Amino acid sequence: MPLPRRGGEPRLAGARVVRTSLPRATPRSPKRVGRGAPLLSHAQRLTRRRHSSEQAPPEPEQADFRSGKRLQERAGGDAKDLQHTPAAGMGSRQRASGAEEVVIPCASDSDSGSIDLQLNNLEDSQKDTTNDDFADLNISDISGLTQAPHPNSLRSLTFQAPFNEDNVETLVQSIQEVLRGELKGESEKLKFLRSLSALSQTLHYDETTESFVHRHMAEIVHILSVLVQEEPLDCLSSMVRQELFVTITDFSYQDMNLLFGSEDREDLLGLTIKSVLSLPAISTPTQLPHTGSSQSSHPEQKDLSQSGPEEASSAGAGADPLQEHWQTGIEPATWARADPRQGTPQEQCLYRQMFQAFSVMLQSLVVKDPHLENFDNIFKHMEPWLQSDKDHERERATTIMSQILKCLSSYLNLKLPLQFQNLGHLVALMALLCGDPVKEVAEEAAEGTHYLLHITMKLKYVTQDKDNGKSLKEILKKCRELLGHYSIKQFYSCPFKIVQVFEVFLDSQELRQFIMTTLDSLKSLPHPCTQQTAGELLITLMKHAEDRFEKVPEIIGVICARLSVITLPSVRQQIVNTVSLFISRPKYTDTVLSHLLCHPVPFDRHLAELWRTLNVELSKTTWVLWRLLRKLQKCHDVTTQEKMAYVAVAATDALYEVLMGNRLREAAFRLFPQLLMALLIQIHHSVGLTMSDVSIPSGLYAGQEIPTEVTPLCFAIQATKTLLLRTLCWQEFSIMEKNDGWTLLRGECHLQGVFLLANALLERSHVFACKTMYLLVPLINRGNDKHKLTSAGFFVELLRSPVAKRLPRLYSTVRLKDWLYDENKLFKILALRGLRNLVRHREMREDIKSVVPCILDSLHESDERIVLLAIQILMQLVKTLDSTTLASMMKILFSLFGDVRHGIHRLSMTLFGAAVKAVKHTDKKCVENHVLESLVPLLLFSQDDNDEIAQESRRVLTLCAQFLKWKLPREVYCKDPLYIKPNEVRRLCKFFGEKSKGKINILDQTLMYSRDPKLPIRRTAVLFIGLLSKYMDPSELKMKGTDWIENDLRELLQDPEPSLRIIASQALFRIQRVGSQPESQKAVCRLRKLFSCLHS
């Protein structure tokens, strides 16, 4: 009675192989693969395809299971026996060991023309589910998917009698001898491997054997590793390698895994894969003509390499193509690429058998793999070969992976938890291979992708959230719609269609795997078309799954790292488009920008090109530019920071690159006010800084030296220039160039540069200016002082615009009044500039009059700019002021006469004259004293060496004389120095002395200016003192005395200027003479004058 197999699972038959240049053996039972067993007959193969249950007749036991004759019969029987006995279709090991033969269903021959994915397992599981959402879901209706036979539809198993104890003992002893010694020669190695294989057949009924294998597992794995390593990597016809694969397969079917479970077993798996995939290329048809009985798997066999050419080639000669197709399962017209390396027919046949044994070995590992743990390990080892730069290695790996996927799809019985977590990675690799430049690789990958789609459907069904059943139903419906548009067998010519189909099944983590794997392929320099495929996959995936990505920074990081190796312009643009899609989605915008800004500045040419060529939809450009701008603005909102944030510098450089690219020009127009102000504020923050003053993230430059010419300021200046040019502000740019505006912005006079640019913008681009003013209304109070000063400086200059009249009082005069009391003098200056601009609008003057007291207080400031601005404002308001305010103002202005700062000196006299003219007739008494007190100063300053001051003094003096209704002598308007014209001086002194008598002490005023720092003023004042004494009231002089005058004049005798010393000595003499003259003499002098008048 046949014994059931251990584990109860079926053995794997060789799957029908799709067209490829790699040699494959004819599908057969795994135990016959590589043993030299004859082919099944045509009828037997058809019977297998129909999943018949015929049993193979048992053979009598052999005491010597490796005896010569039986081995020869098993390995190389006559080809004619294939047509005469059913037993010929059985593997030699079944006949020798009595183990059962398991027949595995092969896929139909139409597989290569359509997807042929078996979904019946998924349908069966659907029928059992309690979820009503899937009651009406028929996945088999999906276009291109055909149901394959269920894995349980297998041939019945045939068993032979087990080994007796003596045979088992003999096997164990022979294996132990090898474990204690070493293998020498190919024959010993083959004997050892076949002994292990035979011993594996006893595991299901002999516990002693099982215990022996478990105890010596590490030693067995070590010996197998040694055998693999000893095989030359340039040998295509290694019998030991083939036998080793079959041995591992036999153990796998007995649930004894030699390739998984420990580190040394994992190493063995890697060695076996490398030993096959790294073999040299061989030029051969996809399926070599099968040599049947002429091949040998034992030393005792006939060596075909010793036979003649006719004998060696007769095995495949004259074969009928149709018959060959039935025997091999492959269209005979498919051939590989030409290669100078040519193996003999025998080598090619042995290579084909070895390769098929290797394939079956790997497939046997996934036949019973409910958690996909084995498949995960196999994929990890296959991955580097699937991405190999060598065509033949990549072709072999793709063929093997396609066969593994087909096998897995046929025997898939998933259970949680699943160990395979690299679905996105695998899908990406297969998609890339579908676009491989080697046609055979692309076709193999396309077929493997068909099976992967079936696996993915089952996998997603098993792992789905039961509460999310409706979502899976919608996904499958979408998949059905996609597949209805085209045949899936076109995957190899249109790999981007894989993205459209698989995208609906991949979760966010798998999408990340897909895109990371695709990005890694961009470094595939030997094959530019791989870059092209990767670019298409990326852009397609982004368009279809734009909102389901995770770990976007990691993706962007890989993209940036790959930019330098992408050689094709079209691929570079696709990568840029991928980044553009990421950055244009609000969900990812800030994340992508943050990562792109974490690169050394100035950006390298690849990253600069990315910034310049961003291809964002027109409707999204403003959003992207705005978010980039916000990165910069947030740095300015920080009130205190020791160092400048690196993001501010990087964002400035990014803005420069974006504006240089001109792709976001429309957005630059829309955001011009925000961009301009942010860049001006950045310039202000950057003045005087170097990169050492920037908080650079650790490791960013990785040992690179930052050029000394690179500073935060240079990025801000060039970005501002580019903004003006890109927004057609050419005239403003020209004004800045001609007036050294950029130099002003770079230095301590930053605000002067801001004023210049604001005025240029107001004159040439009034629309931009108005938009900027409205923007600045809320922006002024943000950030630190530099932020506020730049904003306020631009704002106050724009108040000249008529639009400023529409601003609420709170944002105009009230705000400016607050700044007048600010401790920072710069804010006072800005407030006065703003008031000066507002006062130009007549409608605003009434509001501004309320701040006149503050403006008058500003006249006492030591800062020249503040005083000048206050005077300029008062000049506009002087006609609207009342007499009391005018009197207060004239008193303050009088104190500014003679100020060493020429601007203040001149403008104070000008404003004084305007105030005199503004006084109403009824209010003259209020200001008359101020006017009288100004006469002597104005007369003296008419002798100033500064022509503007002298001229203005004469003009204002004339206004004062008109106010007093005096007619000034013409000598007042003499432009020559008075000290050289004593007669004119006498007449002037006589005029002012007589007119001022009893009103002001003109001598006191004149004496004050004898200490003036300007020589012309001192000289004229001293000259006037001497002459005015003659016209002074003697009683007044006698009452006060002349000592105080004489003392001042004596000090002037020490002056270094000779002319002044002479004039001072003359004045001193006159004063002394007037002071010492007796009263009688004075009376006589008066009488003489009287008589002379009567006589005349």
Tokens 């990169």, residue?
691
Query: At 170, which helix (H) or strand (E)?
Result: helix 165-180
- Is residue 351 pLDDT above 50, yes or no? yes
- Is residue 965 pLDDT above 60, yes or no? yes
Least confident span in 768-772, 853-857, 860-864, 1067-1071? 1067-1071
| pLDDT for 923 | 84
Residue by residue, what is the 3-state secondary structure of 420-437? CCCHHHHHHHHHHHHCCC
Span 1069-1095, average pLDDT: 58
Span 90-114, average pLDDT: 35
Predicted confidence (pLDDT) per residue in 748-766, tens digit: 889 999 999 999 999 999 9
> What is the identity of the amino acid at 616?
V
| pLDDT for 1036 | 62
Span 155-184, average pLDDT: 71
CA atoms of 956 and 972, how far apart (whole Å): 12
Question: Per-residue confidence at 377, pLDDT binned at 50, 70, 90?
Answer: very high
Phi/psi for 645 (5° steps) reads -65, 140
> How far apart, in Å, are the Cα atoms of 441 and each of 18, 111, 150, 1058?
11, 17, 29, 109
618 or 276, higher pLDDT: 276
Phi/psi for 114 (5° steps) reads -145, 175
Span 775-784, average pLDDT: 85
Question: Per-residue confidence at 126, pLDDT binned at 50, 70, 90?
Answer: very low
**Which DSSP letter does residue 644 get?**
E
1058 or 334, higher pLDDT: 1058
| pLDDT for 716 | 95
- CB distance 326 to 45 below 8 Å: yes
Tokens 């790997």, residue?
362
CA atoms of 257 and 518, how far apart (whole Å): 33
Nearest to 228 by CA among 191, 267, 271: 271
Nearest to 32 by CA among 209, 295, 286: 295
- CB distance 897 to 934 below 8 Å: yes
Largest CA distance in the chain: 181
- CB distance 31 to 201 below 8 Å: no
Predicted confidence (pLDDT) per residue in 411-438, tens digit: 888 888 888 889 999 999 998 888 888 8
| pLDDT for 856 | 92
Phi/psi for 118 (5° steps) reads -90, 120
Span 312-339, average pLDDT: 34
Structure tokens at 999: 């009103």
Give the 3-state secondary structure of residue 769. Answer: helix
DSSP, residue by residue, 665-706? HHHHHHTHHHHHHHHHHHHHHHTT--GGGEEPPTTSSTTPPP
Cβ contacts of residue 99 below 8 Å, gap of 6+? 31, 93, 159, 160, 201
- Is residue 1061 pLDDT above 50, yes or no? yes
Phi/psi for 337 (5° steps) reads -70, 155
Question: Per-residue confidence at 1068, pLDDT binned at 50, 70, 90?
Answer: confident
- CB distance 651 to 597 below 8 Å: yes
Q: Which of 92-101, 705-714, 1080-1089 has the highest mean pLDDT?
A: 705-714
How many residues are recorded in the chain?
Answer: 1096
